[in-house]
Amino acid sequence: MPKKVFRFTHTAVDYYFDSKLSLLPTILPRKNAILLTDEHLFSAHPKQFKGWNTIVLKPGEDQKVQATVNAVVEQLIDKGADRTTTLIGVGGGVVTDLTGYIASIYMRGIPFGFVPTSLLAMVDASIGGKNGIDVGLYKNMVGCIRQPQFILYDAAFLSTLPDKEWINGFAEIIKHAAIKDAPMFRQLEANSLLSYQKKKVLLSALIQRNAILKTKVVQADEFEKADRKLLNFGHTLGHALEKQHDLPHGSAVAIGMVAAAKLSGHFSPFKDGERLSRLLRQYGLPVGLDYDKDPIFDVLKIDKKKESDFMNYVLLKKIGQAFIQKISLQQLYNYL
Ligand code: NAD
Protein backbone atom coordinates (compact mmCIF):
# COMPACT_ATOMS: atom_id res chain seq x y z
CA MET A 1 0.00 0.00 0.00
CA PRO A 2 1.61 3.37 -0.99
CA LYS A 3 2.45 5.23 2.22
CA LYS A 4 3.93 8.69 2.76
CA VAL A 5 5.04 9.75 6.23
CA PHE A 6 4.75 13.40 7.29
CA ARG A 7 6.40 14.65 10.49
CA PHE A 8 4.74 17.19 12.76
CA THR A 9 5.99 18.77 16.00
CA HIS A 10 5.16 15.87 18.29
CA THR A 11 4.42 12.98 15.96
CA ALA A 12 4.47 11.52 12.46
CA VAL A 13 1.37 10.77 10.40
CA ASP A 14 1.11 8.01 7.78
CA TYR A 15 -0.83 9.02 4.66
CA TYR A 16 -2.13 6.12 2.57
CA PHE A 17 -3.02 7.74 -0.75
CA ASP A 18 -4.91 5.79 -3.44
CA SER A 19 -5.79 3.15 -0.91
CA LYS A 20 -8.79 1.02 0.07
CA LEU A 21 -10.62 0.68 3.38
CA SER A 22 -10.32 -3.09 2.93
CA LEU A 23 -6.58 -2.65 3.60
CA LEU A 24 -7.22 -1.27 7.08
CA PRO A 25 -6.51 -4.65 8.78
CA THR A 26 -2.93 -4.38 7.49
CA ILE A 27 -2.56 -1.17 9.54
CA LEU A 28 -4.13 -2.45 12.75
CA PRO A 29 -6.00 -5.55 13.93
CA ARG A 30 -9.80 -5.36 13.86
CA LYS A 31 -10.05 -6.13 17.58
CA ASN A 32 -8.18 -2.91 18.39
CA ALA A 33 -10.31 -0.65 16.20
CA ILE A 34 -13.62 1.10 16.65
CA LEU A 35 -15.00 2.92 13.61
CA LEU A 36 -17.02 6.12 14.02
CA THR A 37 -19.18 7.09 11.06
CA ASP A 38 -22.55 8.62 10.20
CA GLU A 39 -25.81 7.14 8.90
CA HIS A 40 -25.23 8.38 5.32
CA LEU A 41 -21.95 6.50 5.02
CA PHE A 42 -23.17 3.46 6.93
CA SER A 43 -26.20 3.01 4.65
CA ALA A 44 -24.43 3.92 1.38
CA HIS A 45 -21.44 1.59 1.98
CA PRO A 46 -22.69 -1.27 4.22
CA LYS A 47 -20.04 -3.74 2.98
CA GLN A 48 -17.20 -1.47 4.04
CA PHE A 49 -18.29 -1.68 7.68
CA LYS A 50 -18.88 -5.44 7.77
CA GLY A 51 -16.83 -7.12 10.50
CA TRP A 52 -15.84 -3.81 12.14
CA ASN A 53 -16.99 -2.63 15.54
CA THR A 54 -18.81 0.56 14.49
CA ILE A 55 -20.56 3.49 16.17
CA VAL A 56 -23.00 5.27 13.84
CA LEU A 57 -23.93 8.93 14.36
CA LYS A 58 -26.71 11.03 12.88
CA PRO A 59 -25.22 13.10 10.03
CA GLY A 60 -24.74 16.87 9.94
CA GLU A 61 -23.02 19.82 11.57
CA ASP A 62 -25.72 19.83 14.32
CA GLN A 63 -24.10 16.66 15.66
CA LYS A 64 -20.71 18.31 16.18
CA VAL A 65 -21.61 19.16 19.80
CA GLN A 66 -20.84 18.06 23.34
CA ALA A 67 -23.98 15.87 23.57
CA THR A 68 -22.59 13.66 20.79
CA VAL A 69 -19.22 13.48 22.56
CA ASN A 70 -20.96 12.28 25.74
CA ALA A 71 -23.02 9.68 23.87
CA VAL A 72 -19.96 8.31 22.03
CA VAL A 73 -17.90 8.18 25.24
CA GLU A 74 -20.66 6.07 26.85
CA GLN A 75 -20.62 3.70 23.87
CA LEU A 76 -16.83 3.45 24.04
CA ILE A 77 -17.07 2.48 27.71
CA ASP A 78 -19.79 -0.08 26.88
CA LYS A 79 -17.59 -1.55 24.18
CA GLY A 80 -14.67 -1.84 26.59
CA ALA A 81 -12.46 0.60 24.64
CA ASP A 82 -9.11 1.23 26.34
CA ARG A 83 -5.74 2.75 25.51
CA THR A 84 -5.02 -0.06 23.06
CA THR A 85 -8.10 0.97 21.04
CA THR A 86 -7.74 3.16 17.95
CA LEU A 87 -10.80 5.27 17.09
CA ILE A 88 -11.17 5.61 13.33
CA GLY A 89 -13.37 8.31 11.84
CA VAL A 90 -14.88 7.25 8.52
CA GLY A 91 -16.77 10.23 7.17
CA GLY A 92 -16.78 13.88 6.30
CA GLY A 93 -15.28 16.69 8.36
CA VAL A 94 -17.97 16.43 11.04
CA VAL A 95 -17.03 12.81 11.75
CA THR A 96 -13.26 13.41 11.57
CA ASP A 97 -13.40 16.54 13.80
CA LEU A 98 -15.46 14.59 16.37
CA THR A 99 -13.25 11.52 16.17
CA GLY A 100 -10.05 13.46 16.84
CA TYR A 101 -11.64 15.32 19.75
CA ILE A 102 -13.24 12.30 21.39
CA ALA A 103 -10.06 10.22 21.01
CA SER A 104 -8.05 13.07 22.54
CA ILE A 105 -10.13 13.22 25.71
CA TYR A 106 -11.22 9.58 26.16
CA MET A 107 -8.97 8.11 28.91
CA ARG A 108 -6.88 11.29 28.46
CA GLY A 109 -6.08 10.28 24.92
CA ILE A 110 -6.24 7.19 22.75
CA PRO A 111 -4.85 6.85 19.21
CA PHE A 112 -7.03 7.77 16.24
CA GLY A 113 -7.03 7.60 12.45
CA PHE A 114 -9.11 9.04 9.63
CA VAL A 115 -10.72 7.69 6.49
CA PRO A 116 -12.06 10.94 4.98
CA THR A 117 -15.03 10.32 2.67
CA SER A 118 -16.03 13.82 1.48
CA LEU A 119 -13.84 15.80 -0.90
CA LEU A 120 -13.60 18.53 1.74
CA ALA A 121 -12.43 16.11 4.40
CA MET A 122 -9.89 14.57 2.00
CA VAL A 123 -8.25 17.87 1.03
CA ASP A 124 -8.80 19.85 4.21
CA ALA A 125 -10.63 18.71 7.37
CA SER A 126 -8.72 15.47 8.01
CA ILE A 127 -5.36 17.24 7.72
CA GLY A 128 -3.59 19.32 10.32
CA GLY A 129 -4.78 17.90 13.62
CA LYS A 130 -7.43 20.48 14.50
CA ASN A 131 -10.17 18.58 16.31
CA GLY A 132 -13.22 19.96 18.00
CA ILE A 133 -16.86 20.75 18.38
CA ASP A 134 -19.21 23.74 18.04
CA VAL A 135 -20.79 25.60 20.95
CA GLY A 136 -24.05 27.35 20.03
CA LEU A 137 -23.37 29.69 17.11
CA TYR A 138 -19.61 29.41 17.60
CA LYS A 139 -17.95 26.95 15.25
CA ASN A 140 -15.00 24.90 16.52
CA MET A 141 -15.05 26.81 19.81
CA VAL A 142 -13.80 23.87 21.89
CA GLY A 143 -11.09 21.48 20.77
CA CYS A 144 -7.45 20.62 20.57
CA ILE A 145 -4.58 20.24 18.15
CA ARG A 146 -3.51 16.57 18.00
CA GLN A 147 -2.51 14.60 14.92
CA PRO A 148 -4.06 11.31 13.81
CA GLN A 149 -1.82 8.25 13.43
CA PHE A 150 -2.87 7.79 9.84
CA ILE A 151 -5.10 9.11 7.07
CA LEU A 152 -6.33 6.53 4.59
CA TYR A 153 -7.73 7.67 1.23
CA ASP A 154 -10.31 5.47 -0.47
CA ALA A 155 -11.75 7.33 -3.46
CA ALA A 156 -14.48 4.66 -3.84
CA PHE A 157 -16.46 6.53 -1.18
CA LEU A 158 -16.78 9.53 -3.48
CA SER A 159 -19.13 7.59 -5.79
CA THR A 160 -21.99 8.42 -3.40
CA LEU A 161 -20.99 11.98 -2.47
CA PRO A 162 -23.80 14.41 -3.43
CA ASP A 163 -22.83 17.10 -5.98
CA LYS A 164 -23.38 19.90 -3.47
CA GLU A 165 -20.69 18.34 -1.27
CA TRP A 166 -18.30 18.09 -4.23
CA ILE A 167 -18.84 21.81 -4.77
CA ASN A 168 -18.09 22.50 -1.07
CA GLY A 169 -14.81 20.64 -1.47
CA PHE A 170 -13.86 22.63 -4.56
CA ALA A 171 -14.22 25.88 -2.62
CA GLU A 172 -11.30 24.79 -0.41
CA ILE A 173 -9.32 23.51 -3.41
CA ILE A 174 -9.72 26.88 -5.17
CA LYS A 175 -8.69 28.55 -1.90
CA HIS A 176 -5.49 26.47 -1.80
CA ALA A 177 -4.71 27.38 -5.41
CA ALA A 178 -5.39 31.08 -4.79
CA ILE A 179 -3.10 31.34 -1.77
CA LYS A 180 -0.27 28.97 -2.68
CA ASP A 181 -0.39 27.28 -6.07
CA ALA A 182 -0.78 29.30 -9.29
CA PRO A 183 -0.14 26.25 -11.57
CA MET A 184 -3.01 24.40 -9.84
CA PHE A 185 -5.21 27.48 -10.36
CA ARG A 186 -4.50 27.21 -14.11
CA GLN A 187 -5.18 23.46 -14.06
CA LEU A 188 -8.55 24.11 -12.40
CA GLU A 189 -9.35 26.75 -15.03
CA ALA A 190 -8.66 24.18 -17.76
CA ASN A 191 -10.94 21.54 -16.18
CA SER A 192 -14.39 21.26 -14.61
CA LEU A 193 -16.22 19.51 -11.80
CA LEU A 194 -17.39 16.90 -14.29
CA SER A 195 -13.91 16.23 -15.68
CA TYR A 196 -12.55 15.59 -12.19
CA GLN A 197 -15.53 13.37 -11.35
CA LYS A 198 -14.96 11.34 -14.53
CA LYS A 199 -11.16 11.09 -14.59
CA LYS A 200 -10.03 9.09 -11.58
CA VAL A 201 -6.31 9.66 -12.11
CA LEU A 202 -6.76 13.43 -12.48
CA LEU A 203 -8.92 13.53 -9.34
CA SER A 204 -6.54 11.42 -7.31
CA ALA A 205 -3.62 13.69 -8.27
CA LEU A 206 -5.68 16.76 -7.33
CA ILE A 207 -6.59 15.29 -3.93
CA GLN A 208 -2.97 14.39 -3.21
CA ARG A 209 -1.68 17.78 -4.33
CA ASN A 210 -4.12 19.57 -2.01
CA ALA A 211 -3.52 17.23 0.91
CA ILE A 212 0.22 17.77 0.62
CA LEU A 213 -0.16 21.54 0.14
CA LYS A 214 -2.14 21.83 3.38
CA THR A 215 0.19 19.40 5.17
CA LYS A 216 3.24 21.50 4.29
CA VAL A 217 1.60 24.69 5.53
CA VAL A 218 0.72 22.97 8.81
CA GLN A 219 4.16 21.38 9.18
CA ALA A 220 5.74 24.82 8.92
CA ASP A 221 3.38 26.35 11.49
CA GLU A 222 1.39 23.69 13.35
CA PHE A 223 0.11 26.01 16.08
CA GLU A 224 -0.99 28.83 13.76
CA LYS A 225 1.42 31.58 14.67
CA ALA A 226 2.12 32.63 11.07
CA ASP A 227 1.61 30.94 7.68
CA ARG A 228 -1.17 28.56 8.77
CA LYS A 229 -3.36 31.67 9.08
CA LEU A 230 -3.28 31.94 5.26
CA LEU A 231 -5.58 28.91 5.13
CA ASN A 232 -8.27 31.21 6.51
CA PHE A 233 -8.49 33.06 3.16
CA GLY A 234 -12.18 33.80 2.57
CA HIS A 235 -13.15 32.45 5.98
CA THR A 236 -13.44 35.68 8.00
CA LEU A 237 -16.45 37.07 6.13
CA GLY A 238 -17.34 33.49 5.10
CA HIS A 239 -17.93 32.26 8.65
CA ALA A 240 -20.03 35.33 9.48
CA LEU A 241 -22.21 34.80 6.38
CA GLU A 242 -22.46 31.04 6.98
CA LYS A 243 -23.88 31.57 10.45
CA GLN A 244 -26.29 34.39 9.61
CA HIS A 245 -27.54 33.15 6.25
CA ASP A 246 -27.41 29.40 6.77
CA LEU A 247 -25.24 29.02 3.66
CA PRO A 248 -23.28 25.88 2.74
CA HIS A 249 -19.70 26.30 3.96
CA GLY A 250 -18.24 26.32 0.44
CA SER A 251 -20.65 29.00 -0.76
CA ALA A 252 -19.87 31.19 2.24
CA VAL A 253 -16.12 30.79 1.73
CA ALA A 254 -16.47 31.53 -2.01
CA ILE A 255 -18.28 34.81 -1.29
CA GLY A 256 -15.68 35.54 1.41
CA MET A 257 -12.85 34.96 -1.09
CA VAL A 258 -14.40 37.33 -3.64
CA ALA A 259 -14.73 40.01 -0.95
CA ALA A 260 -11.14 39.43 0.20
CA ALA A 261 -9.96 39.66 -3.43
CA LYS A 262 -11.68 43.06 -3.77
CA LEU A 263 -10.12 44.17 -0.49
CA SER A 264 -6.71 42.96 -1.72
CA GLY A 265 -6.73 45.67 -4.40
CA HIS A 266 -6.62 48.35 -1.66
CA PHE A 267 -3.44 46.94 -0.09
CA SER A 268 -1.55 45.26 -2.95
CA PRO A 269 -1.29 45.31 -6.75
CA PHE A 270 -3.76 42.38 -6.97
CA LYS A 271 -5.85 42.61 -10.14
CA ASP A 272 -7.21 39.11 -10.69
CA GLY A 273 -10.49 39.39 -8.78
CA GLU A 274 -12.54 38.70 -11.90
CA ARG A 275 -10.43 35.64 -12.71
CA LEU A 276 -11.07 34.24 -9.23
CA SER A 277 -14.83 34.89 -9.53
CA ARG A 278 -14.87 33.19 -12.94
CA LEU A 279 -13.22 30.06 -11.53
CA LEU A 280 -15.59 29.93 -8.56
CA ARG A 281 -18.59 30.19 -10.88
CA GLN A 282 -17.08 27.48 -13.12
CA TYR A 283 -17.25 25.10 -10.12
CA GLY A 284 -20.84 26.02 -9.22
CA LEU A 285 -19.99 28.42 -6.42
CA PRO A 286 -21.68 31.78 -5.75
CA VAL A 287 -19.63 35.00 -5.91
CA GLY A 288 -21.94 37.47 -4.18
CA LEU A 289 -24.84 37.89 -1.81
CA ASP A 290 -27.11 40.73 -0.73
CA TYR A 291 -26.48 40.95 2.95
CA ASP A 292 -27.18 43.37 5.78
CA LYS A 293 -23.81 44.84 6.67
CA ASP A 294 -24.36 45.61 10.38
CA PRO A 295 -25.41 42.18 11.71
CA ILE A 296 -22.69 40.51 9.60
CA PHE A 297 -20.11 42.94 10.91
CA ASP A 298 -21.21 42.19 14.52
CA VAL A 299 -20.38 38.48 14.00
CA LEU A 300 -17.24 39.20 11.99
CA LYS A 301 -15.88 41.33 14.86
CA ILE A 302 -15.66 38.33 17.19
CA ASP A 303 -13.59 36.30 14.71
CA LYS A 304 -10.59 34.48 16.19
CA LYS A 305 -8.31 36.57 13.95
CA LYS A 306 -9.21 39.84 15.68
CA GLU A 307 -6.59 41.60 17.83
CA SER A 308 -8.05 44.56 19.80
CA ASP A 309 -9.31 47.01 17.14
CA PHE A 310 -7.61 45.30 14.21
CA MET A 311 -8.36 42.24 12.15
CA ASN A 312 -5.66 40.06 10.59
CA TYR A 313 -7.15 39.68 7.13
CA VAL A 314 -5.80 37.24 4.54
CA LEU A 315 -5.39 39.00 1.18
CA LEU A 316 -3.79 38.19 -2.18
CA LYS A 317 -0.75 39.77 -3.79
CA LYS A 318 -1.33 37.70 -6.90
CA ILE A 319 -2.88 34.32 -7.71
CA GLY A 320 -0.81 31.81 -5.73
CA GLN A 321 0.53 34.30 -3.21
CA ALA A 322 -1.29 35.42 -0.08
CA PHE A 323 -0.32 37.70 2.79
CA ILE A 324 -1.78 38.87 6.09
CA GLN A 325 -2.82 42.49 6.43
CA LYS A 326 -3.78 44.18 9.67
CA ILE A 327 -6.92 46.21 8.96
CA SER A 328 -8.65 48.43 11.50
CA LEU A 329 -12.24 47.42 12.20
CA GLN A 330 -13.40 50.88 11.10
CA GLN A 331 -11.54 50.57 7.79
CA LEU A 332 -12.92 47.07 7.29
CA TYR A 333 -16.46 48.30 7.96
CA ASN A 334 -16.02 51.04 5.35
CA TYR A 335 -14.67 48.65 2.71
CA LEU A 336 -17.30 45.91 3.16
P1 NAD B 1 -19.94 16.60 6.72
O2 NAD B 1 -19.10 15.70 7.49
O3 NAD B 1 -21.20 17.10 7.33
O4 NAD B 1 -20.29 15.88 5.33
C5 NAD B 1 -21.19 16.51 4.45
C6 NAD B 1 -22.35 15.57 4.11
O7 NAD B 1 -21.86 14.59 3.20
C8 NAD B 1 -22.90 14.80 5.32
O9 NAD B 1 -24.28 14.67 5.14
C10 NAD B 1 -22.23 13.43 5.19
O11 NAD B 1 -23.00 12.40 5.76
C12 NAD B 1 -22.16 13.29 3.69
N13 NAD B 1 -21.09 12.43 3.18
C14 NAD B 1 -19.76 12.49 3.47
N15 NAD B 1 -19.09 11.61 2.73
C16 NAD B 1 -20.02 10.97 1.95
C17 NAD B 1 -19.95 9.97 0.95
N18 NAD B 1 -18.81 9.47 0.56
N19 NAD B 1 -21.11 9.55 0.40
C20 NAD B 1 -22.31 10.10 0.76
N21 NAD B 1 -22.44 11.07 1.67
C22 NAD B 1 -21.30 11.50 2.26
O23 NAD B 1 -19.17 17.90 6.23
P24 NAD B 1 -17.80 18.14 5.44
O25 NAD B 1 -18.14 19.15 4.41
O26 NAD B 1 -17.16 16.88 5.03
O27 NAD B 1 -16.91 18.81 6.56
C28 NAD B 1 -17.34 19.99 7.20
C29 NAD B 1 -16.84 20.00 8.61
O30 NAD B 1 -15.42 19.93 8.58
C31 NAD B 1 -17.20 21.23 9.40
O32 NAD B 1 -17.64 20.87 10.68
C33 NAD B 1 -15.90 22.00 9.48
O34 NAD B 1 -15.80 22.79 10.64
C35 NAD B 1 -14.90 20.88 9.48
N36 NAD B 1 -13.56 21.29 9.01
C37 NAD B 1 -12.53 21.00 9.80
C38 NAD B 1 -11.25 21.35 9.42
C39 NAD B 1 -10.09 21.00 10.29
O40 NAD B 1 -8.97 21.46 10.03
N41 NAD B 1 -10.27 20.19 11.29
C42 NAD B 1 -11.05 22.00 8.20
C43 NAD B 1 -12.14 22.27 7.40
C44 NAD B 1 -13.41 21.90 7.81
Q: What is the pLDDT along the chain (336 residues), one digit of tens a residue?
A: 679 999 999 999 999 999 999 999 999 999 999 999 999 999 999 999 999 999 999 999 999 999 999 999 999 999 999 999 999 999 999 999 999 999 999 999 999 999 999 999 999 999 999 999 998 877 888 999 999 999 999 999 999 999 999 999 999 999 999 999 999 999 999 999 999 999 999 999 999 999 999 999 999 998 888 899 999 999 989 988 987 888 999 999 999 999 999 999 999 999 999 999 999 999 999 999 988 889 888 888 876 667 778 889 999 999 999 999 999 999 988 888
For residue 236, give the nearest of 144, 142, 301, 324 by alpha carbon. 301
Q: What's the CA gap between 309 and 287, in Å, rounded?
A: 28
Q: Is 160 in the pocket of ligand 1 (CB under 6 A)?
A: yes
Q: Do β-strands 130-135 and 138-145 pair in parallel, antiparallel, or remain unpaired? A: antiparallel
Pocket test for ligand 1, best of 57, 101, 120 (most atoms within 8 A of CB): 120
Task: State whether residue 109 is helix, strand or coil.
Answer: coil
pTM of this prediction?
Answer: 0.96
| Residue of 176, 214, 229, 242 marked catalytic | 214
Distances, alpha carbon 167 to alpha carbons 20, 105, 130, 163, 281, in Å: 24, 33, 22, 6, 10
Say which DSSP state 148 is in: -
Q: Are 31 and 79 in contact (CB under 8 A)?
A: no
| Cβ neighbours around 164 below 10 Å, total | 11
- Please tell me the number of Cα atoms within 13 Å of 77 on its side-chain side: 9
The protein residue whose alpha carbon is closest to atom 42 in ligand 1 is 125
316, β-bridge pairs = 322
